[in-house]
Chains A and B, each alone.
Chain A
């Protein structure tokens, strides 16, 4: 696992150095006084004047001591910057994935149990719609309707500016701010889980053990929830592991729309500012999150499916 993360770090390092331009250029460009001496001084200060292999070795050495380097742009250690932003992103991710999986699975179950009837048609159409609509557009429409039009929810940010809330009020305030970004990010995935769950339910329904359950005279509800759903969850969980990576990508967009102070936006800014240390740190951190989630999913398998054993 540690090897996977290290491999990702190495690939990232060389990929990012393939891009033209560096932090010195961006800073100098913004300062408006780009004398060669000034830029050389900046590069020396940042260690960018060293040959690439040397920079790489230094980077690796730092990694091994959990030192992610220094963001010259923000004037702060990378680890500290990430530490500030990671909780917000994790909150957004958990909320939107939780929403997508729970609501999506529920809709999928309803659709499958009413396959071919009106409820199924409605849900399937809706899922297709969410699946096909661009995330940023959904976000903007939600803002227009719920914030601007109905004035139910805040437009953006994570806390109210007037803030000063403590304790429970703070939690409620953050929750109110969370609704729109989480819904925006989650709707696309909700569509995926709805479709996946519907298909999985219908497939499991044709299995022999479901016919056995019917022949035993079990109540339809018990058959659907206990026999079909339990088995249909497996592909959903698989998908969950795969999608955590892509939902981090989606977070960039949503965090930008809703001014959510998370990692995605930080990465986006770092990319444009050629703040490579920060960008590398963020990428490393998100790959670690993905790896951990995938491990958790593998562990979840053994709970859901008794046939999967640690020993094998």
Chain B
């Protein structure tokens, strides 16, 4: 991929392995992607496809017995894989920060909001208490919290879910990170609040921050991400520019996801029946042979179960630098694209 001049985050060949009682399972396999400054990369997939654990791996937070392995997670050129605990701690919260799914539980109930922002600043930079406090107040303002001086001294239980998520974002921004990882930041919130939070993240990335947005909601992706990475069973199955993905989804799984979105009522009629992808994500311990999606795929052929389809780059087509892992991708491309051969590596 050559789309971005200087990626701020590069993940190369990342695998996440869980080893327990002699069994070794791969929750994520050979995942690579890049995020540029000011860009949002959305990672999309069903529950259990490995997107949340990928988010945790970016901050070196994979819980034991899990382990991140592979070539590199490069943040501003520096490989985080293999950093010691102290070096990793220094990077977390300062250069790369995270926003979690559940704002009700991600804040410590017994500390005030102000304390929780200030401690982040003071554990990374040598600043006076007073200066840290001023910065925390500015941060609360930046995430549009009304009356920040009052909120500063309040405990989380006094705030609504949307407000808490703003506080979590303010906390994440405390040291001006270059990458923000947001793991389902709006799942636990009302629809109207969801839009506000996503708009806020959009606004904040104007400063040149790269954003990794983890979500299962394609609706979120449409308005707020430049690129979309679709994961299935721990593997990247498609990565495209967001506009391309919605216009011509290629992988059958992506097409299933897009078809499965709830749709508006058609004129005069009822709401169209909600389409679903049959079956469920396979368990890591019982992966089907070949393409992991084959058992649920309407287009699967015998070849699909023979070997895992390689990730192919769609060069020399109008789709530029998209990537898809499907044997039959050539059949799905519209004739106008005139792909000479399905596999173009």
Contact = CB atoms under 8 A, between A and B. Distances in A.
B110 A215 contact: no
Contact of B106 (A209, A222, A306): A209
B59 A304 contact: no
B139 to A, nearest CB: 13
B117 to A, nearest CB: 9
Contacts of A222: 119, 123
A216 B110 contact: no
Contacts of B100: 208, 211-212, 215
B109 A231 contact: yes
- Pick from A212, A213, A307 the residue with the most CB of B within 10 Å: A212
Contact of B110 (A212, A214, A219, A306): A306
A31 interface: no
B107 A209 contact: yes
A218 B106 contact: no
B222 interface: no
Contacts of A227: 108, 111
Nearest to A204: B108
A209 to B, nearest CB: 4
Interface in B45-91: 59, 61, 89-91
A217 B175 CA distance: 11
Contact of B109 (A213, A226, A306): A306
A139 B231 CA distance: 65
Contact of A212 (B91, B94, B168, B174): B168
Contacts of B224: none
A214 B91 CA distance: 11
Contacts of A214: 61, 92
A216 B120 CA distance: 6
B155 A218 contact: no
Q: How large is the interface on A (under 10, 10 to 19, 20 to 34, 35 or more residues)?
A: 20 to 34
A220 to B, nearest CB: 8
A220 B92 CA distance: 13
Contact of A209 (B93, B94, B109): B109
Given A226-B119, A230-B111, A211 B61 contact: yes
A151 interface: no
A243 B99 CA distance: 41
B242 interface: no
A226 B91 CA distance: 21
B304 interface: no
A213 B110 CA distance: 13
Contacts of B90: 217
Contact of A217 (B102, B123, B155): B123
B143 to A, nearest CB: 16
Given A215-B100, A306-B109, 9 more contacts: A209-B106, A209-B108, A215-B98, A217-B92, A217-B94, A217-B120, A220-B89, A230-B111, A231-B109
Interface of A: 207-209, 211-220, 222, 226-227, 230-231, 304-307
5 contacts: A209-B105, A209-B109, A216-B93, A216-B97, A216-B119
Q: Identify the 5 closest CB pairs spanning chains A and B, nearest first.
A: A217-B93, A217-B92, A208-B105, A216-B93, A306-B155
